[in-house]
Structure 1
């Protein structure tokens, strides 16, 4: 945990993967921190959330810059960011993230791991069209 190079390698790989696909940054970081680097589950979740601030900001800037001047985007868009949709997502996700953080803190690490696994499997199956 004291060696920064494994963390940098994880950060590089996860940053590229999420930038290309837009997929769940948190799930990838949590998995890397717990499985590869041996972090406790609660620490991995908190660290993941903190890192999302900077990673998301980089992605936001990229999608704004690359989308400026692109024809056919919805009204009220700045680049590829649609402001009304962003506002709806932010208005609901910020308070729910706080509730989620309190709930996660109350759960034992093992239950939290199982919950994360179930959510990731569900999302994967849903994306594959299983249901």
Structure 2
């Protein structure tokens, strides 16, 4: 067993889990670039590296979201009515996202990921306040919003917080409630997206041993072991501090990761 690799994966899982709990972003935007680096170093098929990194990252969110949402629920911050309205569209979109991703080559998928990470970082830096009086849309609008969130999250292997948190705050949901509700939405996104990645990657030639579709199980197990420990700590910290300054620092990190994935797109 490569213990140095295990150590790197544990650190990645801890960082991704903490970020997921603190910022409601699912952790995928942090994990995908690092997993891509590791899978590339291990000599996985170049045509599959980004697809597998996205699928493995998305699978970790099933566990991270359950771990962090418990801490948020204890604070009464999860808006379960919003979860119920967004979830149907999210489940459908999260299934379609990996299917769309499979039609794209590695370069196109890496480029798409870098664009969305850069967009998310820019949104964090802007920190634009919602207009007074705006409210959540009706049932049809929430279904459509869930579909968009799920599709994009399934495509880039994230928990959807990079869209759902700005969407909810834009509709005047308090930031702490938006983060907590985004954590709850991470589970249906990750479950549907992971099943889709397993189904559409099942017969893909060139997958390494111990893969379940596009999901690489050894990396999943190690990352989850760390992330489920750290996600509740991040969630508790989110209710104790003003995360504005932290978001600015995190945005710089995201821009760096977006730059790496942009490089991968043309490497």
- TM-score range for the pair, normalised by the shorter chain length: 0.7 to 0.9
State the Cα distance separating 1:117 from its structure 2 match: 4.4
CA contact (8 A) 1:14 1:29 kept: yes
CA distance in 2, matches of 1:39, 1:96: 26
CA distance in 1, matches of 2:194, 2:200: 10
Q: Deviations over 1:12-68 (max 9, x none)?
A: 211111222224522221111112x11101100110000110011010000000111
CA distance in 2, matches of 1:22, 1:54: 13
CA contact (8 A) 1:41 1:112 kept: no
Match of 1:43 in 2: 177
Match of 1:21 in 2: 156
Q: Which runs of 5+ in 2 are unaligned?
A: 1-135, 261-267
Match of 1:57 in 2: 191
State the Cα distance separating 1:114 from its structure 2 match: 4.0
CA contact (8 A) 1:41 1:113 kept: no
Q: Name the SS of the counterpart of 1:74 in structure 2.
A: coil
Match of 2:220 in 1: 86
CA distance in 2, matches of 1:96, 1:24: 16
Aligned positions, number:
126
CA distance in 2, matches of 1:113, 1:26: 16
Runs of 4+, deviation exceeding 4 Å: none
Match of 2:205 in 1: 71
Q: TM-score, normalised by structure 1?
A: 0.84
Q: TM-score, normalised by structure 2?
A: 0.43
State the Cα distance separating 1:124 from its structure 2 match: 2.5
State the Cα distance separating 1:84 from its structure 2 match: 0.4
Q: Which runs of 5+ in 1 are unaligned?
A: none
Mean Cα deviation higher: 37-46 or 20-29: 20-29
CA contact (8 A) 2:202 2:212 kept: yes
CA contact (8 A) 1:33 1:39 kept: yes
Q: Deviations over 1:92-112 (max 9, x none)?
A: 1111101101111111xxx22
